[in-house]
Structure formats: structure tokens, C-alpha cells
């Protein structure tokens, strides 16, 4: 049991740590928020390309279906503080929100900096002590929690680990939370990059191409799965919403190759090709196919068959045409083995969820130790789900901590 004016230490001033701090602070406690950066919310500023897709407008089950790993862990805390509670919190604090395509919620100003400014103001108002440029090196518990920091040693009654994962390590999320969790005996599910581009083994001779409504399939050693939507195909990687979703779903298994169906709504592609070629029998095939396929893609596909783009349409053999049709429906590319965290939006993996109380975020191994945000083995797709995980877990921890104090 913790005594009056308890000291709460929170390591990490990302969305999870900040939200925990402003919700824990009351007249019964002192809250210290540590970050190795000079300001709060360094990664938060980058979210949604600087616009901050702060949460999703999807309703309960639909929302939870976008949590890829360990969504069951979120049920309890999400019932306490869900996406609509977050929108309400923002609106009460004079941040107007709007819902864009696919139910993505943004601040109306489209500025992540407005969210960071609000959090800075709340930290000041609530008198949370923010320790900027303060790196925590190690933590241990001997009665109280002892923290070794770049500004000296400090002791706390309650400790919240909100260090994030490993993605975009230059923002400060460099995996320290995992080290701290392990030092308390927690199990770590191997952190792997998620929501990152699919890197290609061989460079493609194309210009970057934005493609809509295509089907992209991933192959691992034992599974094939697919996504439909928009992608950006570049010489060295594939990104865009459908590619990111695909990578995230396969993040824990190795995707060895991917294949793209450029015309997923057309079954009898051979007949369509015949029509295009017959319409302009003397025209070079490279020109005949314009209007049906993007120019840069035509060249790549013809090279792959191989057919010269200058070959007259009426001289294309049946075999060449069939091969072209098959490439349009099933354009296969090998993917690179090594991907890193520098371009991953989130980390898949982290502190094992079965060792954390899903209602309170308290460690089941160490009393008064809490985990919030991306450091936990839970992650979602793009669309505001990962920030909401941070807010939901932080809020639940704050309720439980305040109840103790
Ligand atoms: C480019 C990009 C865009 C994104 N866009 C979106 C989006 O639009 N919507 C969405 O929902 N999600 C988005 N995400 C994901 C989302 O930003 C993260 O899931 C979220 O920030 C995790 O919050 P967190 O507080 O758990 O960790 P973080 O935001 O990673 O914060 C952890 C903090 O802990 C600090 N820290 C770590 N170790 C120590 C230590 N030893 N001592 C002191 N401080 C330490 C770090 O400096 C950091 O500030 C995006 C991610 C990236 C990289």
C-alpha cells in the first residue's frame, strides 16, 4: 500500500507517458515524467505526416478488429476509455476534431503540434514535473523503485514504463523499456518492425507508381494472405496503405515474396488484351496498351515477358499474350530478408501481455510497476489505432494508480 504524497515516476514522454502523467496527477501525489529528449512527444509530432491521425471513428468491434496482435488484452481497458472518450477529451480541451476517409480522426487544424501544445499546457497546469534531457539508465526495486538517470538517482513509490518500442529510434524509442522490463523478470516477445514498406530484392526499372484498387498477396513459408487497396510501387520498395497492412499482418513471419494483381476485377484478361491489340493492329504494342495500363508499368511488364514495346500489335504471339496476361494478374517480386526499424511505424512484440493485468496495466510480477503504450506486445494497423492503444492503456493505468494513492 502506498503512502500519502506518493511519488510516481514515468519513463517516456510519448503519448502514453504524457497521458498517464496528466491523468494520474492530483493533490495526493507528485508525478515526475522523464524523457531523454528536450521536449515531450517527439514521435507524436511526426504522426500522420505531421497531421496526427489521433484515433479512429470506428465503433467498438470494428475498431478492435484493426488491432493486429493481442486485441483481447485491450477489451477491458478499451471499455473504460475508448476512442470516443478520447475524442470527447480533445473536444473538452478545445481541440476540434474531424473524421476523414476510412474513419481516421484528426485535429481540425491538421497539426500534430496542436496536440503536443495541449499536452504541454496540461502538464504545466497540473504541475507534472517534466524532466527533459534526462535519460533513465537503469531501474530496480528495493522497497521503492530506484532510478539511475543522467541527472542522478531518484526514488519512486510507483513506476510507469512508457518508453515505446523500437520504431523510428531517432525519436528516442530505442528499446530501453524492454531492457527495464527484462530486469524485473518480464518476458519479452521479440520486437519486430511492423507497418513498414516491403523492400524488394531486385531494383525494378520503373518510376514510382501510385496504383489504386489492386490486390497484393504475401507469401511466407507456410501462408499466403492478401490485401486490396492502394499501393505505391517504387524501384526498391512497395508502400501505401494496402502494402503496409500486408506487411503488418506478416510482421511475425518472414514474407519471402509478394505478387500483385493489377487488374483484380477482370477475370477474362486474355479477351480484353485481344480487343486492345485488334483495335490497333499496326500500332506498337507499347502504344496499344496505353489507356489500359500505366505507361511505366507497360514497359516493365513487356520487358519481363519479354516483348519489345515497338513490336506491332498484330505480331504478338498467343504465348506472348498469355504470358503478359499472367504477369498482369500475378506480378511476382522477391522481398528482402532484412528490414529494420528505421521505417517501421510500430513495433510488433514487446512485454508479454499475460504478465500484465489487462484492467490496470500493473505488472503481475512486480507490485506498483506499470506498463503503458507501445512497450506492451500489442499493435494495430494504420488509422489511429496505435495512438489509441497508448491513450487507452495510459488511462487505465492512471485510474488504477489513483485508486491506490
Ligand atoms: C512516422 C510515424 C507516424 C505515425 N503516425 C501515427 C498516426 O498517425 N496514428 C497513430 O495512431 N499512430 C501513429 N504512429 C504510431 C504512434 O506514434 C506510436 O504507436 C506511439 O507514439 C507510441 O506511443 P508511446 O508513448 O508508447 O511511445 P513513444 O511515442 O515511442 O514515446 C516513448 C518515449 O520514451 C522516451 N524514452 C525511451 N527510453 C527512455 C529512457 N531510457 N529515458 C528517458 N526517456 C526514454 C523516448 O524518448 C520517447 O519520447 C506513427 C509512428 C511513426 C513512427
Is 95 a residue whose pLDDT tops 70?
yes
CA 391 / ligand 1 centre spacing (Å): 12
- Give me the count of residues in the chain: 405
Q: Is any ligand 1 atom within 6 A of the Cβ of residue 139?
A: no
pLDDT in tens, 110-162: 999 999 999 999 999 999 999 999 999 999 999 999 999 999 999 999 999 99
The angle at the Cα of 126, spanning 123 to 132, to the nearest 5 degrees, equals 35
pLDDT given at position 205: 87
Residue 257's pLDDT band (cuts 50, 70, 90)? very high
What average pLDDT does the chain have?
96
pLDDT over threshold 90, residue 207: no
Cβ–ligand 1 distance for 115 under 6 Å, the answer no
What is the Cβ-side half-sphere exposure of residue 198, based on CA atoms within 13 angstroms?
32
Nearest 5°: the CA angle 305, 307, 309 is 130
36 in contact with ligand 1, CB cutoff 6 A: yes
Rounded CA separation 128/298 (Å):
59
CB neighbour class for 124 (10 Å; exposed up to 12, middle 13-18, buried from 19): exposed
Cell of 251: 510482421
Report the share of the chain in percent with pLDDT over 70: 99
DSSP E strand stretches across 150-248: 152-156, 158-161, 188-194, 198-199, 209-219, 224-233, 237-239
pLDDT tens-digit readout, 292-327: 999 889 999 999 999 999 999 999 999 999 999 999
Residues 374-400 have a mean pLDDT of 98
pLDDT in tens, 15-56: 999 999 999 999 999 999 999 999 999 999 999 999 999 999
Nearest to 138 by CA among 34, 277, 28: 34
The per-residue pLDDT for range 263-295, each reduced to its tens digit, is: 999 989 999 999 999 998 999 999 999 989 998
User: How far is the centre of ligand 1, averaged over its atoms, from the C-alpha of 109 (Å)?
Assistant: 21
Read off the pTM.
0.94
Q: Are 131 and 33 spatial neighbours (Cβ–Cβ below 8 Å)? A: yes
Cβ(390) to ligand 1 under 6 A?
A: yes
Q: DSSP 3-state assignment of 386?
A: helix
- Please give the pLDDT value at position 1: 53
Q: Is 245 in the pocket of ligand 1 (CB under 6 A)?
A: no
* The predicted structure's pLDDT at residue 4: 66
The alpha carbon of 79 and the centre of ligand 1 are apart by a number of angstroms equal to 23
Could you give phi then psi for residue 316, rounded to 5 degrees?
-75, 125
Distance from C-alpha of 19 to C-alpha of 37, rounded to nearest angstrom: 17
Rounded to 5 degrees, what are φ and ψ at 157? -85, -35
Q: Distance (Å, rounded) from C-alpha 188 to C-alpha 349? A: 7
CB 373 within 8 A of CB 397: no
Q: Is 374 in the pocket of ligand 1 (CB under 6 A)?
A: yes
Amino acid at each position: 500500500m502506498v503512502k500519502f504524497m506518493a511519488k510516481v515516476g514515468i519513463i517516456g514522454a510519448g503519448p502514453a507517458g504524457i497521458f498517464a502523467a496528466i491523468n494520474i496527477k492530483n493533490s495526493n501525489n507528485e508525478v515526475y515524467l522523464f524523457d531523454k529528449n528536450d521536449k515531450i512527444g517527439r514521435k507524436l509530432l511526426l504522426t500522420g505526416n505531421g497531421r496526427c491521425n489521433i484515433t479512429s471513428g470506428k465503433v467498438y468491434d470494428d475498431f478492435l478488429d484493426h488491432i493486429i496482435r493481442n486485441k483481447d488484452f485491450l477489451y477491458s481497458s478499451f471499455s473504460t476509455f475508448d476512442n470516443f472518450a478520447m475524442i470527447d477529451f480533445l473536444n473538452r480541451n478545445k481541440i476540434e476534431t474531424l473524421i476523414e476517409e476510412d474513419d481516421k480522426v484528426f485535429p481540425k487544424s491538421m497539426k500534430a503540434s496542436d496536440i503536443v501544445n495541449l499536452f504541454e499546457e496540461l502538464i504545466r497546469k497540473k504541475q507534472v514535473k517534466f524532466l527533459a534531457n534526462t535519460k533513465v539508465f537503469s531501474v530496480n526495486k528495493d522497497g521503492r523503485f530506484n532510478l539511475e538517470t543522467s541527472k542522478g538517482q531518484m526514488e519512486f513509490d510507483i513506476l510507469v514504463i512508457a518508453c515505446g518500442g523500437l520504431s523510428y529510434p531517432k525519436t528516442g524509442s530505442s528499446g530501453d523499456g524492454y531492457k527495464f522490463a527484462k530486469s524485473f523478470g518480464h518476458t519479452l516477445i521479440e520486437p519486430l518492425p511492423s507497418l513498414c514498406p516491403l523492400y524488394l530484392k531486385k531494383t525494378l526499372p520503373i518510376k514510382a507508381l501510385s496504383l489504386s484498387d489492386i490486390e497484393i498477396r504475401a507469401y511466407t513459408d507456410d501462408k499466403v494472405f492478401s490485401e486490396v487497396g492502394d499501393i505505391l510501387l517504387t524501384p526498391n520498395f512497395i508502400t501505401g496503405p494496402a502494402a503496409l497492412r500486408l506487411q503488418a499482418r506478416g510482421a511475425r513471419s518472414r514474407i519471402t515474396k509478394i505478387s500483385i494483381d493489377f487488374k483484380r476485377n477482370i477475370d477474362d484478361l486474355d479477351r480484353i488484351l485481344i480487343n486492345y491489340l485488334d483495335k490497333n493492329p499496326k500500332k506498337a504494342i507499347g502504344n496499344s496498351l496505353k489507356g489500359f495500363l500505366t505507361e511505366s508499368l507497360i514497359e516493365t511488364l513487356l520487358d519481363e515477358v519479354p516483348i519489345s514495346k515497338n513490336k506491332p500489335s498484330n505480331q504478338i504471339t498467343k504465348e506472348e499474350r498469355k504470358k503478359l496476361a499472367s504477369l498482369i494478374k500475378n506480378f511476382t517480386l522477391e522481398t528482402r530478408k532484412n528490414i529494420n526499424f528505421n521505417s517501421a511505424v510500430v513495433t510488433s512484440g514487446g512485454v508479454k501481455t499475460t504478465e500484465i493485468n489487462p484492467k490496470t496495466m500493473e505488472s503481475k510480477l512486480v507490485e506498483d510497476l506499470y506498463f503503458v503504450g507501445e512497450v506492451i506486445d500489442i499493435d494495430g494497423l494504420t488509422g489511429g489505432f496505435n495512438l489509441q492503444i497508448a491513450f487507452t492503456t495510459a488511462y487505465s493505468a492512471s485510474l488504477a494508480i489513483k485508486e491506490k494513492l
